[in-house]
Structure 1
Amino acid sequence: MYERILVATDGSELSQLAVHSAIDLALLMQAELVAIKVVRRDPTGYFEGSVLLDQADADRLGEQFNVEAQRVVDTVKATADARGVKNTRAVVVQSELVSEAIIETASLHHCDLIVMASHGRRGVQRLLMGSETLQVLTHSRIPVLVLR
């Protein structure tokens, strides 16, 4: 049914549920797996023109985020490989729009299912932080499996 599954992870405990479910599903379907972690390229400040970090510090911090993101997806790949998933890719993408990066990566890798977790934020938290999962659900043209 599914040939290539994209699993989005942020490295959190909750996203591990999505990772393990995606691996199980990939094994069941004999599908390939693409693990993605999106690193946000947020501005250096909250207000237009403000600077919280100098460029050297911002670059160092960005590199740390990239290294950590690569470690997260490499761990997913190692777990999937050890379980017998036939072809797993570990992808790190930098983007200001996490949901858009997930959808674009799914399209780029010809995935036919996106698996991700929902943090279940409500009220003010959801209003302030938004919901990447909701954005993926709203804009994806392929099926999305959401786990809580």
Structure 2
Amino acid sequence: MYERILIPTDGSDVAEVAVEHALDLAERYDAEVHALYVVDTDAVAYGLGSEQVDRLRQGNFEGMTELREAAEEATGYVRERADERGLTVIEHTSGGRPHKMIAEYAEDNDVDLVVMGSHGRAGVRRALLGSVTERTLRSTDVPVLVVDAR
């Protein structure tokens, strides 16, 4: 049923809860795991020059040690947990609008399922803060399993 499972991660506790669900499914279906870290270029653009933002959009973290380390730590967590289960992991980093990058990656890599966490916000808090998870749901035709980390 599932051959490729995508786990978008930012290294947060919420993302780590979703990792365990995704790896259980990957183990059950002998699926390949894809760990994706997306730098939100809209959020970091104010502190970086346009050349650096363009490099981020291409997945080039050269000269941006903090961002590169955060990405490696987040996808590394997925790899470590997957290695414990004998699962194959492909790690990828990119920059852009997270929900769009997740949807594009899923489409480009024939992903069968996206597994991601949610803070479980509702109502005004969700409207004010936005939700990468909710936007991802609206941006892709690939099934999305949302793990509530409350």
TM range, smaller chain? 0.7 to 0.9
Superimposed CA distance per residue, residues 87-139 of structure 1 (whole angstroms, 9 cap, x where no aligned partner) = 211111111x1100111111222111100011112344322221111111112
SS for the counterpart of 1:103 is: helix
% identical equivalent positions: 38
- The one-letter amino acid paired with 2:65 is E
Report if aligned partners of 1:7, 1:34 keep a CA contact under 8 Å in 2. Answer: yes
Which consecutive aligned stretches of 4+ in structure 1 deviate over 6 angstroms post-superposition?
A: 58-61
- The one-letter amino acid paired with 1:8 is P
- Other-structure match for 2:38: 38
Q: Distance in 2 between matches of 1:36 and 1:139?
A: 16
TM-score w.r.t. the length of structure 1 is 0.82
- The one-letter amino acid paired with 1:80 is A
SS for the counterpart of 2:10 is: coil
TM-score w.r.t. the length of structure 2 is 0.81
Report if aligned partners of 1:7, 1:35 keep a CA contact under 8 Å in 2. Answer: yes
SS for the counterpart of 1:28 is: helix
Q: Distance in 2 between matches of 1:89 and 1:54?
A: 28
Gaps of 5+ in 2: 54-61
Q: Distance in 2 between matches of 1:130 and 1:3?
A: 30
Q: Matches of residues 42-121 of structure 1 in structure 2 within 5 Å? A: 42=42, 43-44=45-46, 53=47, 55=49, 62-85=64-87, 87-95=88-96, 97-121=97-121
Name the larger-Rg structure.
1
- The one-letter amino acid paired with 1:127 is A
Gaps of 5+ in 1: 45-52
